[in-house]
Amino acid sequence: MKGTISVQTENIFPIIKKFLYSDHEIFLRELVSNAVDATTKLQVLAQRGEATGEIGDTTIEVLLDAEAKTLTIRDRGIGMTEDEVQRYLNQIAFSSAAEFLDKYQDSAIIGHFGLGFYSAFMVADQVEVVTRSWQPGAEGVRWVCEGSPEFTLEKVDKAGRGTDVILHINDENAAFLERYRVEDLLEKYCRFLPVPIQFGTRTESVSTGEGEEAQTEQQEVPNIINETRPLWKKTPSDLKDEDYLAFYRSLYPMAPEPMFWIHLNIDYPFNLTGVLYFPKLGNAMEVTRNKIHLYCNQVFVTDDVREIVPEWLQLLHGVIDSPDIPLNVSRSYLQSDTNVKKISEYIARKVADKLHELFKADRPAYEQKWRDLGVFVKYGMIADPKFQERAMAFSLVENTAGEVFLLNDYKEKIKTNQTDKHGKIVCIYTNDPAGHDAYIRSAVQRGYDVLKLDVVLDNHWIQQLEYKSELGFVFVRVDSDTVDRLVQKDEQKESILSEKEIETVKTSFEKVVTDGGRVECQPLAPEDLPVQVTKPEFLRRMKEMQALHGMGGADFLDSYNVVVNTNHPLVVQKMVKLDKDEERQQLAQYLYDLALLHQGMLRGEALTRFVGNTLEKL
């Protein structure tokens, strides 16, 4: 048996009201967009000579009458005949925009699905449509529906062409009868629509007369809420820096000025325009998300652009507009398809091209911005292998002396002195130049160079460079080992002490070292510190990664090394010459506390004891 599944129209309105749109406020965007479509269609017909005579004022009006509990969207566009009302309003999901596009394929019509009009029933108990077609001799028509399959349709007198959609707002949605609420929604969704939209009037100072008779008067003028030709729709060559900055300030009034921007303009294999700004970030990555606004034919869709903008570029600010972005039926969020992937790749490539262009054009200025730029570049290199490859041409590192290098240039600088016995080039770095001052000085005295890597992403970034780049780098923090072992070579220093003396020293320290510390004696240079606390690079990185992801670290990750310099004068000339074990332990405790203090590991009771003992000796 074969049959046809029946869809009951009685059931469609509850679905529209509850499930079609994720937020009731969308209704205003949909109805104003429909009015823009009606106006745009008229303009297309006029350009083609099909609609003759003066078009006149095509401003769309949004009219609020809180007392009557109505909200009206009025356009002076193409309008509808009685037949068209029957066709478009009484057949859900039959889109007049889609039909129009089939005939006039080069027109910028917003709507596609034919469901936007019915979003009105999410907030209104009754919807009236009063319309008159542009066609000569057309009569006015009034359509009324109360959110059920039943409607009334009658001829009425209407002075001019266009359509009034009158919503009788229900009590549940009374908030949409408040002026500030409507104005906020128009500002959010409609501020860049291509047809002027008026919402009431505003008071403006107007100069009248000339010379001594000149006066300033307060006049009521139309309150136009949108900019019909936003900056991203203009030709880049016609724009100045101040234009881009002014647009940025209009989008983000409280934000510092951006470092620079990228104007996107492509029409093949997809249509995409927009402007993306690079804000000043520092380490504040999270607070800047959701700052890219997605538009479809100048209609705001969402600020959640995860599908179309790579994650690492969601730190950017700005606007993207494309009619080729696949939206769900309510135009509220993206649907994945091949176009989305192409657009995402295009944006990433344009960003890489812009960064390389800036680097080549003015390297000193680029270096000055690197503190902020580095967050974008490093994030991109971690997340996107293609971008990592491109970024090698403009990715920088800075050493503790303030010198800045491209990665490949830095490799050439250090490879002679900092290549270990396994052929790896060892990059020594600090994430705390002030706290690691003694370690840095010791490394520099050995002829080593020390990088400053102190931003939030550096831990991830250096691992990416180790595992996925062709540089041959390994990274070790300057305090991860003694200076002689930061770059492992076959050289060995001799200790001044005998094996028995070394064992005595080690025993003294083992009696005072607690909490996972492991004592080892090394014959370092006499000018090196007498005792150093180091944490192996691998264990420390594991600990930091777990902390970053909110995970508790295993106990073994807290272990550290207490390295005693068996060539230091305090050990050679004092400790081994003390007669009593107790005296040696006291000196060992003091030197161990100094080493902990140097690493910021001496806290609480131990710190109080150390300060007290130090004061007693003074």
pLDDT-derived band of residue 552, with 50, 70 and 90 as boundaries?
low
Question: How confident is the model at residue 91, as a pLDDT?
Answer: 65
b/e 196-228 (16+ beta carbons within 10 angstroms → b): bbbbeeeeeeeeeeeeeeeeeeeeeeebebbbe
Q: How far is CA 155 from CA 60, 132, 142, 144, 167, in A?
A: 23, 10, 6, 12, 19
Six-digit token string for 460: 């991830």
Six-digit token string for 593: 């506390």
Give the whole-angstrom CA distance, residue 175 versus residue 364: 54
Q: How far is CA 190 from CA 26, 32, 153, 211, 419, in A?
A: 11, 8, 30, 40, 60
Domain regions of the chain by residue span: 10-200, 231-365, 395-486, 499-617
Q: Which amino acid is at 257?
A: E
Give the whole-angstrom CA distance, residue 558 versus residue 539: 8
pLDDT-derived band of residue 336, with 50, 70 and 90 as boundaries?
low
Question: How confident is the model at residue 356, as a pLDDT?
Answer: 95
Question: How confident is the model at residue 284, as a pLDDT?
Answer: 56
515 Rama class: left (phi>0) / alpha (psi -120 to 50) / beta: left
b/e 545-555 (16+ beta carbons within 10 angstroms → b): eeeeeeeeeee
Pick 347 or 409 by higher pLDDT: 409
Report the alpha-carbon angle 53-58-59, nearest 5: 165
Is the sign of the CA dihedral 7, 8, 12, 18 positive or negative? negative
Tally of CA atoms within 13 A in the half-sphere of 223 that contains its CB: 12
If you average pLDDT over residues 272-288, what whole number do you get? 75
**In this predicted model, what pLDDT tens digit does every residue of 499-521 receive, in sequence order?**
888 898 888 898 888 777 888 89
Is the sign of the CA dihedral 247, 249, 250, 251 positive or negative? positive
**In this predicted model, what pLDDT tens digit does every residue of 33-79 receive, in sequence order?**
999 989 999 998 988 888 777 888 999 999 999 999 999 999 999 99
Question: How confident is the model at residue 274, as a pLDDT?
Answer: 93
**In this predicted model, what pLDDT tens digit does every residue of 78-110 receive, in sequence order?**
999 998 888 887 765 444 444 534 554 454 444
pLDDT-derived band of residue 272, with 50, 70 and 90 as boundaries?
confident
Say if residue 438's pLDDT is above 90: no
If you average pLDDT over residues 14-41, what whole number do you get? 78
Say if residue 553's pLDDT is above 90: no
**In this predicted model, what pLDDT tens digit does every residue of 401-425 receive, in sequence order?**
999 999 999 999 999 999 988 888 9
Residue 448: closest CA among 425, 466, 469, 465: 425
Give the whole-angstrom CA distance, residue 323 versus residue 176: 29
Q: Which amino acid is at 482?
A: T
Report yes or no: 462 and 430 within 8 Å, Cβ to Cβ: no
Question: How confident is the model at residue 93, as a pLDDT?
Answer: 45
Give the whole-angstrom CA distance, residue 483 versus residue 349: 42
If you average pLDDT over residues 10-23, what whole number do you get? 57
The average confidence (pLDDT) of the chain is: 83
Report yes or no: 414 and 391 within 8 Å, Cβ to Cβ: no
Question: How confident is the model at residue 210, as a pLDDT?
Answer: 72
Say if residue 245's pLDDT is above 90: yes
Residue 457: closest CA among 540, 391, 371: 371
If you average pLDDT over residues 326-336, what whole number do you get? 46
Say if residue 492's pLDDT is above 90: no
Say if residue 4's pLDDT is above 50: no
Residue 37: closest CA among 332, 297, 302, 325: 297
This prediction has a pTM of 0.76
CATH 3.30.565.10 fits 10-200, yes or no: yes
Six-digit token string for 196: 């002027």
Question: How confident is the model at residue 285, as a pLDDT?
Answer: 56
Q: Which amino acid is at 389?
A: E
Within 8 A by CB and 6+ apart from 88, the residues are 80, 94, 96, 114
Taking the domain 231-365, which CATH number applies?
3.30.230.80
Determine whether 265 is exposed, middle or buried from the number of CB atoms within 10 Å of its CB (0-12, 13-18, 19+).
middle
Pick 204 or 133 by higher pLDDT: 133
Fold designation for 395-486? Rossmann fold (3.40.50)
Give the whole-angstrom CA distance, residue 588 versus residue 565: 12
Residue 69: closest CA among 166, 163, 180: 166
Fold designation for 499-617? Four Helix Bundle (Hemerythrin (Met), subunit A) (1.20.120)
Give the whole-angstrom CA distance, residue 134 versus residue 56: 12
Pick 330 or 299 by higher pLDDT: 299
Question: How confident is the model at residue 28, as a pLDDT?
Answer: 93
**In this predicted model, what pLDDT tens digit does every residue of 359-392 receive, in sequence order?**
999 999 999 989 888 888 999 999 898 999 999 9
Report yes or no: 571 and 528 within 8 Å, Cβ to Cβ: no
Say if residue 554's pLDDT is above 80: no
Question: How confident is the model at residue 70, as a pLDDT?
Answer: 96
Question: How confident is the model at residue 6, as a pLDDT?
Answer: 40
With residue 426 as reference, give the H or E element that holds it. strand 425-430
pLDDT-derived band of residue 198, with 50, 70 and 90 as boundaries?
very high
Report yes or no: 614 and 597 within 8 Å, Cβ to Cβ: no
**In this predicted model, what pLDDT tens digit does every residue of 140-195 receive, in sequence order?**
999 998 877 788 999 999 999 999 999 999 999 999 999 999 999 999 999 999 99
Residue 426: closest CA among 445, 403, 449: 449
